[in-house]
Amino acid sequence: MEDKNKDSHQSSALLHGKYELGRILGHGTFAKVYHARNLQTGKNVAMKIVGKEKVIKVGMIEQVKREISVMKMVKHPHIVDLHEVMASKSKIYFAMELVRGGELFSKVAKGRLREDVARVYFQQLISAIDFCHSRGVYHRDLKPENLLLDDDGNLKVTDFGLSAFAEHLRQDGLLHTTCGTPAYVAPEVIGKKGYDGAKADLWSCGVILYVLLAGFLPFQDDNIVSMYRKIYRGDFKCPPWFSPEARRLITKLLDPNPSTRITISKITDSSWFKKSVPKIIRTKEEQDLDNYIFEDDNTIGKSKQPETLNAFHIISLSEGFDLSPLFEEKKKEEKEELRFATMRPASSVISRLEEVAKAGKFSVKKSESRVRLQGQEIGRKGKLAIEAEIFAVAPSFLVVEVKKNGGDTLEYNQFCRKELRPALKDIVWTTPAGNSTLA
């Protein structure tokens, strides 16, 4: 009998034969979070375990489904990464990035932050929220407890349980469910009229910035009705130690009228935000790109011609034979590469790409069969990096493959649509039927 219990304990501590559960890290109303280790990779993760029965009982199953779909969609250096989701008869398991630095809230609980320190956290928060909004995702429960810090002290946004998609908008284009934590909630959300999710998130960002700089909340009252009244009126005072620029930005963020409240582009343009360069975590891809050297650069004097393609290469490049949809869930508009054929020499393709780079603020690194464009401006996920590789099918017939090597996919797709495709149009080979090969 004792052995049986021992076995069941071991199987519960070993999830799906893949994760070994460790100590408890924290718990909320519906979930417990454990330290866990992936036995296949040795990687440490945070395992969030949600009881199905409890969630179904209070009608929150939709919220859990939403959290899964949102977190699969938002991959960003300042957002906690969801590795995978598993389920048993009674529980749902979220294997998430383990963020070891604790909550930002506990830092503030020790006392207010210096303005330059608060600025770094705020810049990272805005970078993550801008990324979510560009994907039509609104967090709706932003507060210091949902902002974690990693080992290097970088911010990570978590808890997308209350988040909403753009698809949740009613016909009036607005969201209609009241949620969030009272002290951080925008007045229009409390008012139970429709509200814009992006504007409501920015109000919460304003409250967070105030708390970081002041060490206390802007709207405080033991009586919740009195507190709501203050929120409605935007009735708060900045402490004397706030700098004039910080005061100005917070006043624009905590504007009770959502239609005149500051936007993300205006925030990033403000003098306070721009005072020091935003600290962006460099992705592994970006680090690899900076250390990247074309093989050709090391073979001076040995002219490397474009690689010749055989029939199998051509089949694999053809969209009709592209098997990736069987393995990936990428939407067509989220493709990270485009290909086209041309009868122009490689030098013409390279000079055309150099023209595009010049017009779009990119630096260029090139060889005879490859071109890399490195963006100068920091985007939603760092700097955009694009690489074009030229293959020879026959001496006078080339295939060019362009792919994203760093930065945000959405920004890459916009660049391809607005800049790259129009610039390459006249060098792209068209079939006798008049169809372009640009895919």
Q: What is the pLDDT of residue 373?
A: 86
Q: Which tokens belong to 438?
A: 């640009």
Amino acid sitting at position 369 = S
Cα–Cα distance, 345 to 4 (Å, whole number): 73
Q: Is 141 a catalytic residue?
A: yes
Active-site pick, 141, 150, 159, 201: 141
Count Cβ neighbours within 10 Å for each residue of 37-59 and write b for 16 or more, e otherwise.
bbeeeeeebbbbbbeeeebeeee
Enumerate domains of the chain plus CATH numbers. 2-97 (3.30.200.20), 104-275 (1.10.510.10), 284-427 (3.30.310.80)
Q: For residue 54, say whether it is annotated as part of any ligand binding site.
A: no
Cα–Cα distance, 200 to 129 (Å, whole number): 11
Q: Which of 206, 180, 238 is nearest to 118 (CA)?
A: 206
Sign of the four-CA dihedral 91, 95, 98, 99: negative
List of residues 6+ apart from 315 with CB closer than 8 A? 321
Sign of the four-CA dihedral 220, 226, 232, 236: negative
Cα–Cα distance, 83 to 67 (Å, whole number): 13
Element (H, E) at 62: helix 61-73
Q: What is the pLDDT of residue 213?
A: 95
Answer whether 420's CB lies under 8 Å from 402's CB: yes
Cα–Cα distance, 100 to 80 (Å, whole number): 11
pLDDT in tens, the chain (439 residues): 444 444 344 444 677 788 999 888 877 666 788 899 999 889 999 888 888 777 777 666 666 676 676 666 667 888 888 888 888 888 888 888 888 888 888 888 888 999 999 999 999 999 988 888 887 777 777 877 788 898 888 999 887 543 343 444 445 444 344 444 678 888 877 776 666 778 989 999 999 999 999 999 898 888 888 888 898 888 899 999 999 999 999 999 999 999 999 999 999 999 999 887 655 555 555 555 555 544 444 433 344 566 666 655 555 555 444 444 444 444 444 556 778 888 888 888 888 888 888 887 888 888 878 888 888 777 777 788 888 888 877 777 888 888 888 888 888 888 888 888 888 888 887 655 555 556 6
Q: Which tokens belong to 141?
A: 């429960």
Q: Which of 97, 102, 65, 100 is nearest to 82 (CA)?
A: 97
Answer whether 209's CB lies under 8 Å from 122's CB: yes
HSE, side-chain direction, 13 A CA sphere, residue 68: 17
Chain centroid offset of residue 74 CA: 5
Q: What is the pLDDT of residue 162?
A: 39
Q: In the chain, count of helices (H) and strands (E)?
A: 16, 16
HSE, side-chain direction, 13 A CA sphere, residue 319: 11
Q: What is the pLDDT of residue 377?
A: 77
Cα–Cα distance, 268 to 377 (Å, whole number): 13
Amino acid sitting at position 314 = I
Quickly count: other Cβ atoms within 10 Å of residue 288's Cβ.
13
State the residue for tokens 């300042």.
78
Q: What is the pLDDT of residue 121?
A: 93
Cα–Cα distance, 191 to 180 (Å, whole number): 13
- Strand ranges (DSSP E) for 163-223? 164-165
